[in-house]
Amino acid sequence: MEKHSLFKKFVMLFVLSIILFILSNCNKKSINLNKSNNTTATIDLKATNNNTIKLNGPWEFYWNKLLYPNDFNDNISHDSLVDFPFLWNNYKLKNKTFNNYGYATFRTTIKNINKNEIYTIQVKNISTAYRLFINGKLILSNGRVANNREKMIPKSYLKSADYYANDNNLELILQVSNFYHFRGGIFDPLVFGKSDVVKKLISKHLILDTFLFSSFLMIALYNLALYLFRKSDKATLYFSILCFLISLRSIMTGQYLLVQIFPTISWELQHKIEVLTIYFSFPIFLLYFKSIYSNSIGKKFLQFIVIISIMFSIIVIVTKCSTYGYFLLYYQALLAISTLYIIYCLIRIYLKNGIRSSYTVFGIVVLLITIINDVLMANSIIDTGYFTPFGLLIFIFSQGLMISAIFSKRFSKIEKQYKKQVKIIKENLTKYSNLLNNAGQGFLSFNKDLIIDNEYSKECIRIFNYEINTMKFTNLISTDKDEKIFLKSVIDDVFKASDEYNENLYLSLLPSEIDINNKTIAIKYKVIHSSINSNKKIMVILTDITDKRKLENEMEKERKILKTVVKVYSNKKIFIECLNEFKNFYRNDLNTIIKSEIEIKDLIYNIYIKIHTFKGNFSQFNLPNIVDNLHEIETKLSEIEKLMEQGAYSKSKFISFITSINYEELLDKDVNIINKHLGEDFFNDEDLIHISKQKLIDIEEKIVSYFPFDESKHIVNELRKLRYVPIKSMLESYPYYLEKLSKRLNKKIKPVKIYGDNFLINPDIYTDFIKSLIHVFRNSVDHGIEPPDVRLKMNKDESGNIKCLIKRIKNKIIISISDDGKGIDIIKLKNYLIDNNIFSSSEIQNFSKSELISCIFNKNTTTVENTTTISGRGIGLNAVKQELEKLNGHFNIYTETNLGTKFEFIIPYKQELLSEQLNITSIMKPLIKSVNKYCKNELEKQTHKFDSKKIKKAEKVDLYELSAFINISGLLHGKFILSIEKKLVKSIVNKLFNDDINKYNEKAIFEDFLGETANIILGNCLDDFDNLVNMIRISSPVTLFSKRSTIKYPFIDCWIYNISLNKGNIKLIITSSQNKFYNN
Amino acid sequence: MANILIVDDSMMMRRNLRLIMEESGHNVVAEASNGKQAFFAYATHIPDLVTLDISMPGEDGISTVKRIISKFPDAKIIMITALQQKQMVYKSLKNGAKNYIVKPIQPQKVLDTIEEVLKK
């Protein structure tokens, strides 16, 4: 801080002293002597010790006279004695003013010079032409002196001449004329002295001027170079121009180097350039100033100065000195005021920026002071000499210093920033490459030349097994020559594409999936536009989907096997029949056929037919291997047949071929699959299901894990149903049992019948309960049904009647068992209850009849005196009650004496299925909607209102003449059939293609129409099948033409919906191979 | 809404395309079933847009593109193509077709492509 304040003080002191110096010199104005006309002007050299003298005066002044040495022989009186510098325009003499334009003669005598010595006289700036006589001899002249403008030629530059003194006194006569400059007279005093001294002085000045000129020029060029390297920094440009102007000016003033080098330059031009340098310099200086301290000077001020300067410059260019010269004064005034303003700004800057602005402040202050000095000097107000060049030099050096300081400061700042940025970039780069390397996807990019860039993610190496940089992209993804050429031209077009649209258009032609090194790779492409230049790159994203594909394939395989297993299992009987037939074929039939004496051709044909049939049979079960194996044999057989025709194959050869096949082995793989899933026992028993429950549950679990839930639930339900059994089958052993029992008890009963609904129940849940029903049946036979003789007496049929009725009402199962026996003896029951202290007699009074009867289900309650092995212990019915309670069921007992008893058990129906079946309505309704939409577009404006009651179920369906079949695979394994009456098709097709149709193409058009129509109808409603759309696939339609055809799929229901339109009928048929549908 | 010429050898395909276009308000000015017809239909109607099947019996799609473009360089042609015909698609694009649609056609895709090509 102290240093700063010291510096500040120093600057202030400096400025102050300069101002004082200027003021002290500001004195000489109009102190011209008004001496007597008759005194002659002399300058005594003795008075000065110096070897040179400025010939300030006094000089005799002769106005409007051009006097030659001879003229002074006559006594001519001068107007006045004057001192140089002398400008006559402001000069007053006896109330007489002098015009700027005019001419005059000056005379003086130098005394006491050394005789026989060579002297040199130097004349600098005289406005604007002169002649100098010494001792009557013309020594020096510049321009042409004349008494009018036309004759005179202005010229003004430094000149000097030698003179050999042959006398002690020298008479100097100086003729001056001016009709050009706005100021006439002598600006600089003549310099006189011994030749060697003056010459030394001149050369000293010359060297100085040259030095200044070249210094400014060098600085100008240096800064221009700086600017060219960094065009954003205007300060260097302004500074360069400023220096250039100053250098130009420096050779136009002082020693007038320019004119000395090019003496032919006209005075007018020389002067114009000189003035213009002032008009240019100032605004350039301000621009420079502002570019360094942007807030230093007002924008409006700057604009004002620039405009004014331009205007002044124009005036200079278009007018002559006599005109523009006057304006110079105004400009100088402006300059002076501006200077004050700039000083004010400088102080502000200095206060604000302190030391940082010291270079500028110092330089400008010095410059300003020298400028002020020179302005004053030029106006002859002071006589200090011209300092501007030095001021400028100091200023420029200070600026150069400052620019260097700024630059080095900026550079170190940038360097620091750069290092920081580099660090950040490096960090980011590592971050991104980590990200890309660990993304598990291959990223790479390439340019127009197709060469892979060095930056690609690690996954690429794993995918391609080698480093891929410098590889060509086309070679990377293709090995086929033609394909490479194709890819290259497509990629070229991507690069050539002018917009995103075309880029994407061509990118879409590149492969989206390739197989490479046993891997499946999905490829995505993206065009990347560089933000820096207009270069394009294509980025490629590679994703290894091998595992996904493998898994998909494996799942598909497993899915197929499971489907096979389910199919085999649910059609076991048929399957085993097929199997046995096949076994029978190769064990027995084959030999018989071979041995039969038929022609070889027929022999082959017979075997061919057999094999073909087996192939068909097995393919029903989707068996993966045997079908292919049989297909191979079939192919071989047809080959043999051909060879046989050519006589190239013998019967014995054929027989040895056909018998050499190991048929057992053909089956092995498939049999093993079934064994694996269904257990070895599966094939042992041909009629009864022999499969462990656990096996089924395993399959279930497997399916759940391999199939999507929505799909699995249907298959699982199918499987579960296989574990379930029809309720009647669980009861079916009772009739036989009861028949035997009644015989043992010497009772007669009619065969017990089980009536009512049959439905699947989960045996795990209901077995115990249904087994317990034995007690109820037993009771009926033992206690209910009377002995035959008793029955006859009572006019009853001698055979008792026991019935079992099963009903399912919503989610309740009702099993009722009734007999027409004697009924429950309520009195006996009452007594029993009282006797055994189960209830008191008073309690029993309050019991209703049914309450009382239900007591027989209590433990140890019986109405029988003698227990038998069969019943009577009062235990059995209680066991039923316990089982019933486990299922949350309840019972009712209805009994009438001698008429019979009816037990009614009501239990909840539990299915444990994953979901309900598909409601056919949910499929049919969208289909009808789609048909309606289609009809609306294509046919008469007739629509059909959907009515779910119109959905019919049938085992076989009659088709109309034209039908289209679409296979539906996936969840809804089945078919969609669209059957249309020919007349309707005809009317539609005629309407659509009326002119194009003829009997030759009719059929083709019908086919075309039918297939597409089926596609449209089914396709348009896929989205409306809730949740199903993703789980089903539809094949292309197959069309059928036939007069009268019926379809029937064994064991499969067809769901039909008829639509009657004015022009004919449409039949929509949906089948599901697994009978997935129900209708409510 | 544009005036469109449909070129396809399948009558059903033409119908489908026409329905799709008409439903969204386009005007099908003509249909053609081969390249020759297509060229004459184009010359007669000067439609805003053409959909052109890439494989047709006789003169194929590419030659038809060439033929139309040589006479009408501003024609906007969309190729209708099967999945495995990328090289043919490329050739058509190089010969002046503006875009392509892969069969089986999806109505929205068809309309989007038409829209895109018309905008250009």
Tokens 């257990």 -> residue: A679
Q: Is A493 on the interface with B (CB under 8 A)?
A: yes
Tokens 């009659």 -> residue: A958
pLDDT in tens, A174-206: 999 888 887 788 887 888 888 888 888 888 888
How many angstroms separate the CA atoms of A852 and A1051, rounded?
50
What percent of chain A lies above the pLDDT cut of 90?
A: 4
Label residue A26 by pLDDT band (50, 70, 90): very low
**Cross-sheet strand order for the sheet of A86-87:** A86-87, A185-186, A126-127
**Contact between A984 and A942 (Cβ < 8 Å):** no
Encode A92-128: b = buried (16+ Cβ within 10 Å), e = exposed.
eeeeeebebbbbbbbbbbbeebeeeeebbbbbbbbbb
Chain B hits for A509, CB-CB cut-off 8 Å, are: 86, 89-90, 93
Nearest residue, CB atoms, B16 vs list A489, A1005, A1012? A1012
Q: How many CB pairs under 8 A join A and B?
A: 32
Label residue A673 by pLDDT band (50, 70, 90): confident
> What are the structure tokens assigned to A914, written together?
């994953």
Label residue A551 by pLDDT band (50, 70, 90): confident
Nearest residue, CB atoms, B120 vs list A493, A501, A996? A501
Q: Is A1008 on the interface with B (CB under 8 A)?
A: yes
> Nearest-CA residue of chain A relative to B93?
A506
Least Cα separation, residue B30 to chain A (angstroms) = 14
pLDDT in tens, A80-110: 888 887 887 767 776 667 777 888 898 888 8
Compute CA A610 distance to the chain's CA centroid, rounded to the nearest angstrom. 63
A866's CB contacts (< 8 A; 6+ apart) are A872
Q: Is A68 on the interface with B (CB under 8 A)?
A: no
What does the DSSP assignment read for A222-273? HHHHHHHH-TT-HHHHHHHHHHHHHHHHHTTSTTTHHHHH-TTS-HHHHHHH
Position A385 pLDDT exceeds 80: no
Position A1056 pLDDT exceeds 70: yes
State the average pLDDT over residues A730-742: 82
- In a mutational test of the A interface, the residue from B6, B10, B11 whose CB has the highest number of chain A CBs within 10 Å is B11
- Position A3 scores a pLDDT of 43
Label residue A135 by pLDDT band (50, 70, 90): confident
Position A665 pLDDT exceeds 80: yes
State the average pLDDT over residues A930-940: 73
Q: Is B103 on the interface with A (CB under 8 A)?
A: no
Q: Is B84 on the interface with A (CB under 8 A)?
A: no
Position A441 pLDDT exceeds 70: yes
Task: Give A 914-943 residues with CB within 8 A of chain B.
Answer: 937
Q: Is B120 on the interface with A (CB under 8 A)?
A: yes
pLDDT in tens, A65-79: 888 888 887 777 777
Compute CA A345 distance to the chain's CA centroid, rounded to the nearest angstrom. 53
Which of the residue ranges A70-79, A947-956, A1048-1057, B13-22 has the most confident prediction, judged by mean pLDDT? Answer: B13-22
| Rg of chain A (C-alpha set) | 64
State the average pLDDT over residues A166-177: 86
State the average pLDDT over residues A373-389: 69
Pick from A350-354, A601-605, A945-949: least confident: A350-354
- Position A1027 scores a pLDDT of 55
Residues shown for chain B: 120
Nearest residue, CB atoms, A509 vs list B10, B15, B89? B89
Chain B hits for A493, CB-CB cut-off 8 Å, are: 93-94
For residue A31, give Cα distances in angstroms to A82, A90, A183, A379.
9, 12, 19, 15
How many angstroms separate the CA atoms of A843 and B69, rounded?
108
Pick from A453-462, A491-500, A593-602, B89-98: least confident: A593-602
> Nearest-CA residue of chain A relative to B87?
A486
- Position A1 scores a pLDDT of 39
A66's CB contacts (< 8 A; 6+ apart) are A103, A105, A145, A146, A147, A175, A177
pLDDT in tens, A208-217: 888 888 888 8
**Contact between A576 and A683 (Cβ < 8 Å):** yes
Average pLDDT value for chain A: 80
- A540 by DSSP, 3-state: which? strand
> Nearest-CA residue of chain A relative to B10?
A1008
- Position A24 scores a pLDDT of 47
Least Cα separation, residue A1056 to chain B (angstroms) = 27
Pick from A1-10, A628-637, B23-32, B65-74: least confident: A1-10
Compute CA A575 distance to the chain's CA centroid, rounded to the nearest angstrom. 57
Q: Is B70 on the interface with A (CB under 8 A)?
A: no
State the average pLDDT over residues A545-558: 83
Are B99 and A1008 within 8 A, CB to CB? no
Are B90 and A490 within 8 A, CB to CB? yes
Position A156 pLDDT exceeds 50: yes
Are B87 and A486 within 8 A, CB to CB? yes
pLDDT in tens, A687-730: 555 667 777 777 777 776 666 656 666 677 777 767 777 888 88
Position A8 pLDDT exceeds 60: no
Least Cα separation, residue B93 to chain A (angstroms) = 9
- A364 by DSSP, 3-state: which? helix
- Position A911 scores a pLDDT of 64
> Nearest-CA residue of chain B relative to A504?
B99
State the average pLDDT over residues A1047-1074: 82
- In a mutational test of the A interface, the residue from B6, B86, B99, B114 whose CB has the highest number of chain A CBs within 10 Å is B86
Question: In A855-919, where does DSSP find H-type helix?
Answer: 876-886
> What are the structure tokens assigned to B113, written together?
């492509």
- Position A655 scores a pLDDT of 83
> What are the structure tokens assigned to A779, written together?
């009771």
Q: At what angle do helices A663-678 and A626-645 cross, to 10 degrees?
A: 170
ipTM value, please give it.
0.83
Cα angle for residues A225, A228, A231 (degrees, 5° grid)? 135
> Nearest-CA residue of chain A relative to B117?
A501
Label residue B48 by pLDDT band (50, 70, 90): very high
pTM recorded for the entire structure: 0.41
How many angstroms separate the CA atoms of B54 and A241, rounded?
70
Label residue A732 by pLDDT band (50, 70, 90): confident
For residue A555, give Cα distances in angstroms to A547, A702, A710, A1070.
12, 11, 16, 28
**Contact between A100 and A54 (Cβ < 8 Å):** no
State the average pLDDT over residues A552-575: 79
How many angstroms separate the CA atoms of A965 and A1011, rounded?
8
- Position A32 scores a pLDDT of 43
Position A54 pLDDT exceeds 90: no
Position A250 pLDDT exceeds 60: yes
Name the pairing type of β-strands B49-53 and B77-81. Answer: parallel
How many angstroms separate the CA atoms of A361 and A354, rounded?
10
The more confident residue out of A572 and A985 is: A985
The more confident residue out of A322 and B93 is: B93
- Position A631 scores a pLDDT of 85
State the average pLDDT over residues A408-435: 86
pLDDT in tens, A897-921: 888 899 999 998 876 555 445 677 7
**Amino acid identity at A401:** L
How many angstroms separate the CA atoms of A877 and A772, rounded?
8
Are B93 and A996 within 8 A, CB to CB? no
> What are the structure tokens assigned to A419, written together?
């290092």
Are A505 and B19 within 8 A, CB to CB? no
- Position A646 scores a pLDDT of 81
- Position A695 scores a pLDDT of 77
Are B16 and A490 within 8 A, CB to CB? no
